[in-house]
Structure formats: C-alpha cells, structure tokens
Structure 1
Amino acid sequence: MTDVEDNGNLDDNESIYNFNDTENLKVNADIENSKNMEKIKGENRVIIDFNNTESESDNYDYDSYEEDDNINHENINDKDVSIGMKLLETKVKHGLTDTAFNSVLSNIGLSISLYKLQKKLHQSVSLSPIRIDTCKNSCIAFTGDYHLLRECPLCFESRFDSNNKPVNITNFFSLIERLKIQFSDSKRAKEFLYRYEYTTTISNDNGNYDDIYDGKLYKKLVERGLFANPTDIALSLSLDGFQIFKHKTNDYWVILFINNNLSPEIRVKKENLLITMVIPGPNAPKDMSTFLQPIINELQVLEEGILCFNGYTQQQFLLKAYVTHCTGDIPAISKCLNLVGHNAYKGCRFCNLLGTCHIKNHHIYFPLNKQHGNLVLRTHEEAEDTINQLLMETDKSKKESIIKNTGIKGANLLFKLKGIEFPWSFPTDIMHLYFENIALLMYLHWSGGFFKDNKYNKNSYNLTKKELEYIGKLMKESQTCLPLEFGRALRDISKYHTGFKAVEWRNWIELFSVPLLKDIFIDKHINGWINYVKAVKLSLKYVISNDDLQEIKCSLITFYNYYENEYFKQDQERLSACRICFHYLLHISENIEYSGPCWAYWQFPMERLCGMLIPMVYSKLRPYTSLSNNLTLLDQLNHLQYTKEGKSIISNSECQKKWTLKQVYGAVEDYDEEFYWPSCDYILNEKESKALQKFYSNKNIELHGIKYGRLLTRDGHTISSEWIKRNKPNSRNNYSIQIRYRENEADDSKIENL
C-alpha cells in the first residue's frame, strides 16, 4: 500500500500509481478500502444479503433472477432508460405501485420494464444496505456484545422464527461507499471544499457567527489536530422518531447525517441528506447504542482515513470525516447519550441545575430559585468520570445514587468519536424548543388550560374565550395575505393550536402574536412576551453578530425572569410551570457561541425528511421492507449523477426547452427576470404611454407589444399581475407593493397590484 502524506494527497514522486490513469486509481482505492469495509461488516456481525430479504414484489435479487440471461441490454433504447429513470424517481418519492408504474411505461411507449430499470440502476450505482438483525419489539439490535444472542435480553422475544430467519431487521446504509462515489465526481469533489475555503478566507474571520465553523467547538477541534486536510469532512448526526401510519402504532426512528462540507445553499437539499438507518417499529428503541454500533464502527474507520479517488484533483487521497454535532429533541438526545432525560434531578445536559420534585405528580421541574447566577456548566471530562464510576461500581444502590445525582445512566458510544465534545456537540434545537414547546405552553397559559387545577388558571395574563376567537378569526381572514414563502396558510389558533406545525408557531411568534396581543395584554405581559419574540427573531438570523448574541442572551434572561415571576410565582403548587424547556432558553446563547447560528443544527431538515418517507410506505403488510427498498432505490438515484455511466444516462434525457415568444420572454438586457405566459398582443393607452415616457425620459416609447401575466424573478419566485389575478377566496397573494403618496402630488398613472 502506498504511503499517504499528511496533506491528504499522495506524493507524485513517491506514488507507484499513474495519476493519468484515473480508472486504475479508482480500482486501487476500492481494493484498499475493501479491507476496511470487511472490518466494519465483521465487527457488526451483519449479513450483506439484502436482495434475499423476504418481501413483496418490490424487492429484487439482481443476481438470481432467471430473467437476467434473457435481457438483451443492447436492444434497450438509451433515451428510454433516461426517461424511465426520471419516472422511477417519481415512483419512489410518491409511492406509485409497481403495476401502475409498468402501466405508465407501457402507455408512453417505453421499451423497458420496472425490473430492467432497477437492474440498470443497480449496475450503474452499486449501493446496497447492510442488513442487521433486531429485536421483534425493536428493543435492541443484535450487534456488539449482543451479536451471538438468540433472544432479546430485555423482552426475551426470539431473534429467529421457526425457519431460523430473523424476525425483524434494520438496514444500515454505508457512509464510506457514498462519500467515495461522490468524491469521484469532479464537480462534487470541488463542492466538498466549502469548509476549507470558508475557514481559510480572512473576510470570514469577522467575529460573526455565519456557520458552525465560527463556533468555539470547531476551533477547539482544529487545535487538537482535526480537520488538518482540505478534504476532511465535517458531519452532523441527527435522529428523531416518527409515525408512518395515522393510527400511530409504528414508532420508526431515523438516523441521518448532514454533510457540513457543502455550502449552506445546498447542504440540506433532500438529495444531499444522508440517511444512514431507519429503525423499524413497532416500538422506540430501548438501547439506542446497539443500533448506533455499526455507525460508530464506520465513523471510527473514517476518522483514521480511507483511500479515496478525488475527481477534482485526479489524485488519490486519504479521506477523513468527523462528527462534530448531534441534534434532536430532548428524548432523542437522551437516548443516544444514555441519559435519564428531563425527569431526572440533573435533567439539563448543559449544567448541574438541581431539579425539584412535585409533591403530587412526582415529576421533576426546574425553577432557578437561588441558583440563578450559580449554574455550573457540565464538562466532557466530568461526564467521562461519571461513566467510569458507573462501569466500575458493582453495588446496585450506589450505582442508582450516581445516576440520580448525575442524570447519566451509563456509557454511550458517541464519546468514542474524536469530534464529540460534551455537552457542546449536542446543541439545543430551536425548532422544538421555540416553536413546538414554548409557544404551545404559553398559549395554554393564556387560554387557561395549562394547570390541571383550574383555580391556578385564573391570572391577569388570561385571554377570554371571546378574545381568543377574535384572534383566531383575524388569523384566518389573513390567509390570502400570507405569501407562500412563509409556509402553509394560517389556521384559527383558537380551534387548531394543538395541531399547529413548527412553521405555524414560528409565524405566530414572529408575525402575529405581538400585533394581536398588544391591545389585549397589560404592559408587563406584552413587554415580557416581546422579549421572547425579539430573541426568536434574532436567533433565526442566518448571520448572528456579537451584538445579536448579547441581545439574545439578555432578552431570554429577561423573559425567563418575567415568566418565573408571573407564571410560577414561587408557588410550589404552580411548580409544573417550570418545565425544562424554559430552562434551556438560558443556554441558547452558549449554544450559538460554541456551535454557530441556530439554523446550522435545527431539526427542520429531519422533519421534512420524515414527511418525505411516509409516501414511500405503500405496503401495509410489510411496511419496513417497502420503505427500505424504496430508500435503496432513492439512494442509488441520488448518486446516479456522480458515476460515469449515470452521467451518460442523465445526459440522454436532458434537452433544452424551447419557448415561443408568446410563452416566455427573457431577452431584457441587464435583467435576469423573465416574463411568462399567459400573454396577448397589447396597445398602450394614452395614460400608460405618457407615464412610461415620463419615467424613462423618452418620448419614443413603442405602443405595440405583448402583455404578459407573470414575472419570474432571479430567485425563482413567480409574481402574477392584476390582469390574471385569481379571485378565489383561498387564493394567496405572494407579493404586494407599498406606495406612499406625497401631498398634493398628481396621480399620473395607475399602479396595478401585484
């Protein structure tokens, strides 16, 4: 094996490889890396035999079908393959059945079947998942110390059925294989240089928080010797649970990686999200570390480096990747860190605040009391010491005492990774905190539904039923005025607040809460809430300055003090108001300081992904098999563009659309915008021509032309004109123009609403 230098590239003088022979370079890299993959597979005790999984007709064994010998690939039209691949992507994303898809292919006259398309795709992109046996009830995965067990140690269900086949499986999608394929593409390999280019540009060292690389955590890792090469990859791990059926009987969990070496503009596009594992139901995992085991094994290999071919430099190099952040809601982070969670006396993962037990419901809550200025932050070393104590302690009562006093239940695999620094590698997700937790709880306070004992729901901040209905009515009436850019249309908050999505709560906080509450609340309540709104708006900025950071910190502290004084009131009967989510507000500024702006680690990409996965499950009998097979196809389709054969397939389907002048007009000098249909011949009237002559200081204005109904902006937004404005009651107006008239100024022209 050729020695690999520290800079991540082989020395041309010492290398035995011919760098002009790119095909041999790729083969050599594959040979070297096959040993690493065999190590991973051996350690995980898994079987790569996905094609033999028992399933419905949507699962294919590409190596055993008799049809293979009868397929004459020379007779398959390349154009048909290209079109078929695009249709296959549509089938996977929208859950089209096999029968329906084959009918579509037949109806449009394509000389190719679904099976042949899948076979062709598998030949072009040889990505297949690694199969791992799991407990029937999803308690554990049979990895690591459990790999030889024949029954679950927690629920005692058998690992195998009567035919000695696994009762339940999960599939692990390799990061190494996908990164190798992507790096082999010249354009993609250049895109991976974003981290290096960003961190070596002097203009970015301005004290602002633009990305995770501006945080203290990344800079600390660099000081340790990580990210020494331009090609080193920074990864974020994200995990969350979701329900695939409306009746909520199957609790699936997704483990996802985000490649932070991609620029923010493309980082979380759906084709760039790296799904690594979907853990099947019916229940949530009880021992998450057993599912993380194969992922950690592969990440440790990536930390040491694998030989890889760089399509941009046309050289081999040592590819390294490090996980720096892990994101999720509080239960998800507690699972992967092996913490007790929010119902522990030490429930905060950032500090050692001691919780208080409610005398009636026996839940733990987190008022600051006298600890306000004495919050001692946790450290990585402290957590490791606690874990070592738990591993060495044999007395059960003493072990329980350690767990109670620290909130840590035992070892977690993430601490084995070089890029993990507790607690700052696990920042707070503001999507759950700001929008799905705090916003809902505050609304419950205002509507008088927070406390179980109704006598505590009568306060000066309460809104009457009439006031709530009036607010909901105004929100509903403003639906048509909210542009699509702000997300889904508003709903009546008085009726549908329990079903509000995060983006709806965001719009409520940012756009509507203060204007609708300012004339109802007394000064101290509206001013208290304004501090929260101010902090939320600043936290949502893509670039956060040091001044913004201090403002966020001060605003959240002020809001928290107001909340404790007015909602908790130092009354033990109202202790349930002190949920841990309110305490986490006090750590937001520290999260930004260590990990950069909040958008870099919020859970919106994960929530969107979960929504994309649900349509892929169209088999109610074997939902996980259906989902897993479609994920495999989607992964292959996403990587098709990075392979030589895949590029050939894609290029055959690319053709430039040609529009007539009546449909699209974009030949306006110095402008990127385009005019779009509908259109008609038009003659300017006298008033319009005079207005244009005055505006352009030109009397030679052409009166004859074409009038268009839409304008496509440079950022891809479509603006419709008054001419084609829809008058439907649910039509939303995406754009509007504010015009201010000076007094006594003549109105020379009519300004049409956009």
Structure 2
Amino acid sequence: MPKYSRQKKAQEKLECFCGIYPERGNPHLVSRSTWYRHMREVETHHQDPALDVDINGDNRSDVMELDHNQDDHNGQFEDYPAEGDYNWDPTPTDSDEEHMSERSWDHVGTPMPSPPSSPLPGASDEEVDDDEDGFLNITAEDYREYDRWFGDEQEQIDEIVAETLTEEEMDSFKMLCIRLFGHISQRNYERIRYSFKDKIQLLSTYCLHKKLAQLSGIKPVTVDCCINICHAFNGGYATETLCSTCQEPQFDSKGNPQRVFEYLPMTPRFQGFFNNPDMVKQMSFRANYVQEDGSMDEFWDSTLYKRLTQTEIVVEGEPQGVRYFDKVKGCRDIAYAIMLDGVETQERAVSGHSSCWPLMGINLNLPPSERVKMKNLFPLGIIPGPKQPKDFNLFLLPFVEEALDQARGVWTYDITTGNHFTLRAHPVFISGDMQAIKHVIEMKGANAKCPCRACELTAIYLAEARTYYIPLANPHNNPDAIPDDRTYPGFRPEETLFDPLQLPLRTHDQIQQQLVEMDAAPTKKQYENLAKEYGLTGHSVLDRIPSIRRPDSYPHEFMHLFLLNHGPDLVALWTGTSKGIGTNVGKYKYLIRFEDWCEAGRETEEATKTLAAAFIRPFPNIQTHIECFCAEHWAFWLVYIGPVVLRGRLAQKFYDHYLELVSILKCLLLVNNTVARIKALREKIANYVETFEK
C-alpha cells in the first residue's frame, strides 16, 4: 500500500485499496485527501459494532489529529492493514446501506487539516526555534507546498461529488435506462417527469447529461457547423465566422452557434473497460483466438488482419517501435470497426426526406455473440441533417485525431493485473451503405463513369436514363455508347465480355498516385476531368489513420448489398414494378402473374403463425406491404419462404437461378467457413451475375 507523503507532486494520484467503492475498481486512483478519507471509512468498518461511533455528530471520529511527533511523520498510518489484509465482505449489510444512504453533502466528513504538521522537505532533526510570534519560519518552498496542498481540496470535492449519488439521481438514472432501452421519446419523458413530480423527483435531461459526463469522464467534443450543414467550422474553416458556401453566419444574434455537431470520444470508454474484470476477460477473445489453417471464421483469419500484424505502426511519419496487435506488447490492443449510414428521421418532410448520419463503433475484441449487442455498441455522434453535408471530412476530423492518439498509445490501468500499460486501439475497417461510404472515401460512387470503389471498370452511359451503368458484357443494341477502354483490339465492341474474376482492381498505392496527378493539374477543368476518369473526388481525411487503407478497409456490406438492394430489386423484376420495365409488363416470361403474387403475399403473412417468435418477427403481406420489410425480413424470406411460395409460380429457368442466390446467401450466413468454400463461393457468385445479365 502506498504511503502518505507530503512531497507528492501536484495532481498526483495514489492507488486506493479500500474496496468501499467496487464500481471504481480495486485499486482506484484518487487524490491524497480522498485516499485518507477512504482509509478512515475502512477503519470505521473494522470498529466494534458495540461502540457507538457518531460519525455525524459532535464527537467526530473521522477528524485527523495533528501529528506532533515530527520524528515519525508516517506513524499515523502504522495501524492500517496492508493491501492483502482487507478481507471484509464487500456485500452491504442493512446497517451499511443505511450508512451509505446518509451520504450527502450534510454528512461528508471533515477533510484532514491542511497541511499536517509532519516535517517539511529539508527539515533536520535539530529543534527549530520559533519566531517572536510563536510560528515556524516560513520559506518560499513552504508556500509552494501549501499551494499544492490546497489545490488538492477542489480535487477532493470533485471526487466526493462523483462518489455521492442522491436518491433523486439514482431514480433519474434508472428512468433514463428505461427511456433508452424502452424507446421512450424525450417529450414523453418530460410528461412522465411532470405528471409524477409529487411522488418521484426526476432530473431534467440536461442535468442527467451533465451528471453522466461527470461520472463517466466522457466529455463530448463540440464542433460548430453551418446551419445548412455545408461544412463544420474546423480544419481549414476554423477561422471562418461566415459560411463560405451559403454565406450563413456561424453564430446567432446572441453569440451562440446556430448548429453544432457533438463527437463522443472512445478512449475514456476503452479505458473504462479495463476497470471491469468481466469485460477484460471477454476482450481477451482476440488475443486468445487460435487461427487454424484453411479456416475463415473470423476477421482474425483475414488477409487484412494478418498483414497488419506484420506491419509496424507509423503515425504521421513517426514510427512507434511496435507492430499492430503485437503478441507481447499489444496483447490488449483493441480492434474496432466503424459503421455509418444515412437515416430518414421523418416520413414526410417539408423539403424532401430529413436525414442524419449516425456514426457507430463495434468492439471486435469481444466474441461474435457479444460484439453486436446494443449494450456493447458505442455511438460516436450524429452528423445532423436534414441536408447532406458537402464536406464529410470536417465532421470526421475529431474521430481521426482521436484515432491517431490511440495509435500512439494511452496510459491505462488494468484492474486484473493492478498495473498500468500502454493501450492502443485501431479501426480496421469502415462499413456502411454505398451512398455513405462514397462520401467518407471521397469517391464518385454509383452512377459515375468509374463508380466502383474496388475496381476500375468503366461504366456505359445510358442516354434515356441520363446515368451510367456498369455491366460485365457490352450492350449489343447500343455499340456507339461503349467507351474505348471497354474494347479489346481485334474484337468488336459489342463482343467484349469482362471476366468477373479478373477485373482491374484498385490498390491503395494506385489511388495515392492518382491523387498526386489530380493535385498537379494546372486548371480546375483538368482536375475535374481526371477526377471523373479515376472516380475520385479528392483526399479523404481517413487516409491519415495508419490502419486504414483505400479500398481494402472499406468492404461492401452484406446487409445493404444483398438484403436491402438486390433482394427488393429482384422481386421488383418478378412482379413488373421495376422502373426499367416501364409499360412492357407482361412482355417478359420471368414476370409472376398478379394473382399468383397476391397468393404468395397471403401465404407469407400466414407463415407467421407457424414460425417461432424467437426466430423472426411477424411477417407483413409482401404483396401489399413490401415497404414494411426490413433486412431481417428479407434475409428470412429470401432463404426460407421465397423458395416455397415461388415454386410453380415463377418460370423454372428463373426459379433455378433464384435458388443459386439462396445457396449463396446460406453460405454467407454460415458461422464457420473455410478458405476453399469461400473460393468456390466467388466462382458461384460470378456465375450468378453472368446468368443474371443474360
């Protein structure tokens, strides 16, 4: 157990093994005054219950007596047991609960006198003469010592506040949990708070947020932004007070920012994980994961992760002297993923759909069964709407700066070992729908001449729709629209067919070289022409993060790609509601008759009665309420219900092709997979796409 010393530096923390506050860990770091107060509370626990110790009355037992024996200035702590001697049962008894319920500002013990009369630095064993006023001679060093001592008083008060929760605050926190996990709106929370104010006192939302920030140590990073979400006022726009895009002022008439974006830091939460032994044990999943030859069950089996483990961490040109996820120095390093998506918050907005852009993180160190649960996801912020930001880089800048600090390492305490260590955390991939990813990756995206973020295949312009599309086979009915880079010497343009397994893939180094060429363009027109040819819009701020590389760190996301895009598009083709069909309904053999589709919808709805609620939520009628289908509905319907209700109603040729998709989905949804199966899956998907285009 650390000993008390008056020569501690200002703001230095001591390790406290009191065990009174298990939620803060054992040991936990506190100031000198708080450490002493905790020790006095420990002593109270050990006192004979027959003794009537009045800790709140006049006979206070928690007041420190001055140590007049200057020869033994640490003697006042000799009677305290050592660290291993604290063996009392931490489970609170009735008397303990009564004692803790009295913990309020009226019952806070008197802090120890400031300063105690133990010898000052440099004091000798010789007796010191008093001056004429009866006081010791005070030196400049004494005053500095006093300043350090009194500076700890405010720190002690802050820690007392953090440890002391009133009944009103406890009730408010319980209600906050009900509100969050019970999907209660803020308006309804205020209604409950007002309706039952005579029976229960609940804090306002503002006060709750302030108290939570104080207890958790998580302080949001607030960034002012344009009222029209053109950009945030940071980075290159930090000195602006007027938006350079829309000319709207940054502040209102009262001097307050018209709109702000709040970013919630991850690092304090990551450090808090190591104060929970259960969480520490769960997060050891990555370090303890055993890679088996030929298996492809986890991200830890991927080529991307294996490449990272062989790469030294370099942060903005500064080597850190350690590799990513080093088995010795980085066994507790955290790998996490970032998710983002555009969300429609209103069904009917005045000016189109009102959208916002949530940022969410996934702790990949947790086992697969735990990492995607609501309680283990960590929100980073919400880029406000309703308009789409014109520069996503500025909203992502706080995340990038924190990721760089995480790559350098943060000093963290591990409760399971009782030691501090350097914690590093690395984002390893970023996921989202294609519309969201194209903004953060700074690429043209869908409907562009070079739309794909994974390959450089050029699209073909469709004049009727005034957009680009990207088939594997060149069209036979419009050879004039085929660009030169989609032809091969000696072949007619309409005879060219690209092999889906041999596409011209993008690489990180190639993208960086293309950006150099764009930056060197002498005119804006030439810059735009190169951007159109390469499918890029500029530099991404995420490129500063050493563990992120374009395009490897931006995989296509299964839910949007298969369940929310291809599945509904396929049904739209079958039912004749696709925009590409137009007025030619009934001309194509693959369309399902309207009567058959109505019957399939009724059978889908009736299937809910025979499905266990633990497997899937209730199914609406897919013919009348297809807009109510979410990703979970589509996954279950495409794999299990569709093959049943479409048999005999969809032409056999197209039904067999649909069963190929079912086989692909089943393989992708497997918990365990192999490299050989993934290789076969690539060939199966390539064959499915070629057949689909025919």
| Fold shared by both chains (TM-score > 0.5) | yes
Q: Tell me the CA shift for residue 189 of structure 1.
A: 2.5
SS in 2 for 1:275: strand
1:239 is matched with which residue? 340
Q: Is residue 478 from structure 1 mapped to residue 576 from structure 2 by the alignment?
A: no
Q: Pick from 504, 508, 525 the counterpart of residue 397 of structure 1.
A: 525
1:316 is matched with which residue? 420
Deviation by residue 1:474-523 (Cα, 9 ceiling, x = unmatched): 11222211222333211221112233211121122011111222212333
Q: Tell me the CA shift for residue 548 of structure 1.
A: 2.9
Match runs of 1:515-664 below 5 Å = 515-565=644-694
Shift of the 112–520 alpha-carbon distance from structure 1 to 2, 3 Å rule, reads closer
Q: 1:349, 1:77 → 2: CA distance?
A: 51
Q: 2:408, 2:614 → 1: CA distance?
A: 43
| One-letter identity of the residue aligned with 1:190 | K
Q: Tell me the CA shift for residue 182 of structure 1.
A: 2.2
SS in 2 for 1:455: coil
Q: Tell me the CA shift for residue 444 of structure 1.
A: 1.1
Q: 2:106, 2:369 → 1: CA distance?
A: 39
2:232 is matched with which residue? 141
Shift of the 117–527 alpha-carbon distance from structure 1 to 2, 3 Å rule, reads closer
Q: Is residue 268 from structure 1 mapped to residue 372 from structure 2 by the alignment?
A: yes
Q: Tell me the CA shift for residue 72 of structure 1.
A: 4.4
1:166 is matched with which residue? 257
Shift of the 458–74 alpha-carbon distance from structure 1 to 2, 3 Å rule, reads farther
2:630 is matched with which residue? 501
Q: 2:515, 2:303 → 1: CA distance?
A: 25
Match runs of 1:487-498 below 5 Å = 487-498=616-627
Q: Pick from 563, 570, 592 the counterpart of residue 442 of structure 1.
A: 570
Q: Pick from 92, 95, 100 the counterpart of residue 185 of structure 2.
A: 95
Q: 1:119, 1:342 → 2: CA distance?
A: 43
Larger Rg: 2
Q: Tell me the CA shift for residue 389 of structure 1.
A: 1.8
Shift of the 412–169 alpha-carbon distance from structure 1 to 2, 3 Å rule, reads same
Shift of the 85–403 alpha-carbon distance from structure 1 to 2, 3 Å rule, reads same
SS in 2 for 1:277: strand
| One-letter identity of the residue aligned with 1:334 | K
1:205 is matched with which residue? 292
Q: Tell me the CA shift for residue 122 of structure 1.
A: 4.7
2:138 is matched with which residue? none
Q: Is residue 371 from structure 1 mapped to residue 462 from structure 2 by the alignment?
A: no
Q: Pick from 594, 607, 618 the counterpart of residue 465 of structure 1.
A: 594
Q: Is residue 124 from structure 1 mapped to residue 215 from structure 2 by the alignment?
A: yes
Shift of the 122–355 alpha-carbon distance from structure 1 to 2, 3 Å rule, reads closer
Q: 1:319, 1:403 → 2: CA distance?
A: 39
Q: Tell me the CA shift for residue 457 of structure 1.
A: 6.1
2:560 is matched with which residue? 432
Q: Is the 8 A contact 2:518 2:527 kept in 1?
A: yes
1:255 is matched with which residue? 359
Deviation by residue 1:547-583 (Cα, 9 ceiling, x = unmatched): 4313422321221121111xxxxxxxxxxxxxxxxxx
1:725 is matched with which residue? none
The TM-score, its normalising length taken from structure 2, stands at: 0.68
Shift of the 381–121 alpha-carbon distance from structure 1 to 2, 3 Å rule, reads closer
Deviation by residue 1:333-358 (Cα, 9 ceiling, x = unmatched): 10001111111121111111111110
Q: Report which of the two has the higher share of helix.
A: 1
Shift of the 483–150 alpha-carbon distance from structure 1 to 2, 3 Å rule, reads same
Match runs of 1:77-116 below 5 Å = 82-92=170-180, 93-95=183-185, 97-102=188-193, 110=200
Q: 2:286, 2:463 → 1: CA distance?
A: 51
Q: Is the 8 A contact 2:26 2:415 kept in 1?
A: no
Q: 2:545, 2:210 → 1: CA distance?
A: 37
Identical pairs, percent: 24
SS in 2 for 1:307: strand
Q: Tell me the CA shift for residue 545 of structure 1.
A: 1.9
Q: Is the 8 A contact 1:535 1:551 kept in 2?
A: no
The TM-score, its normalising length taken from structure 1, stands at: 0.63
SS in 2 for 1:265: helix
Q: 2:30, 2:514 → 1: CA distance?
A: 46
Q: Is the 8 A contact 1:531 1:558 kept in 2?
A: no
Shift of the 246–394 alpha-carbon distance from structure 1 to 2, 3 Å rule, reads same
Q: Is the 8 A contact 1:387 1:411 kept in 2?
A: yes
Q: Is the 8 A contact 2:335 2:363 kept in 1?
A: yes
Q: 1:303, 1:432 → 2: CA distance?
A: 30
Q: Is residue 226 from structure 1 mapped to residue 324 from structure 2 by the alignment?
A: yes
Q: 1:439, 1:222 → 2: CA distance?
A: 37
Q: 1:400, 1:121 → 2: CA distance?
A: 48
| One-letter identity of the residue aligned with 2:535 | G
Q: 1:515, 1:208 → 2: CA distance?
A: 33
Q: 2:581, 2:357 → 1: CA distance?
A: 32
Q: Is the 8 A contact 1:528 1:558 kept in 2?
A: no
| One-letter identity of the residue aligned with 1:215 | S
SS in 2 for 1:541: coil
Shift of the 261–23 alpha-carbon distance from structure 1 to 2, 3 Å rule, reads same
Q: Is the 8 A contact 1:257 1:274 kept in 2?
A: yes
Q: Is the 8 A contact 1:439 1:505 kept in 2?
A: yes
| One-letter identity of the residue aligned with 1:216 | T
Query: Structure 2: any 5+ residue segments left out of the alignment?
Result: 1-11, 18-24, 32-103, 109-163, 312-322, 474-496
SS in 2 for 1:492: coil
Deviation by residue 1:278-326 (Cα, 9 ceiling, x = unmatched): 1111212111001001110111011111111112211111111111100
Q: Tell me the CA shift for residue 400 of structure 1.
A: 1.7
Deviation by residue 1:189-228 (Cα, 9 ceiling, x = unmatched): 3322221111xx3xx4242222111110000011102111
Q: 1:516, 1:121 → 2: CA distance?
A: 52
Q: Is the 8 A contact 1:390 1:399 kept in 2?
A: yes
Shift of the 222–455 alpha-carbon distance from structure 1 to 2, 3 Å rule, reads same
Q: 1:544, 1:124 → 2: CA distance?
A: 43
Q: Tell me the CA shift for residue 331 of structure 1.
A: 0.6
Worse overlay, 386-395 or 166-175: 386-395
Q: Is the 8 A contact 2:171 2:202 kept in 1?
A: no
Taking only aligned residues, the RMSD between alpha carbons, in angstroms, comes to 2.7
Q: Tell me the CA shift for residue 98 of structure 1.
A: 4.9
Q: 1:442, 1:99 → 2: CA distance?
A: 45
Q: Aligned residue pairs: how many?
A: 504
Q: Is the 8 A contact 1:403 1:409 kept in 2?
A: yes
Q: 1:526, 1:232 → 2: CA distance?
A: 48
Q: Tell me the CA shift for residue 80 of structure 1.
A: 6.6
Query: Structure 1: any 5+ residue segments left out of the alignment?
Result: 1-15, 29-70, 566-754
Q: 1:348, 1:121 → 2: CA distance?
A: 43
Shift of the 482–89 alpha-carbon distance from structure 1 to 2, 3 Å rule, reads same
SS in 1 for 2:371: coil
Q: 2:373, 2:605 → 1: CA distance?
A: 31
Q: Tell me the CA shift for residue 252 of structure 1.
A: 0.9
2:465 is matched with which residue? 361
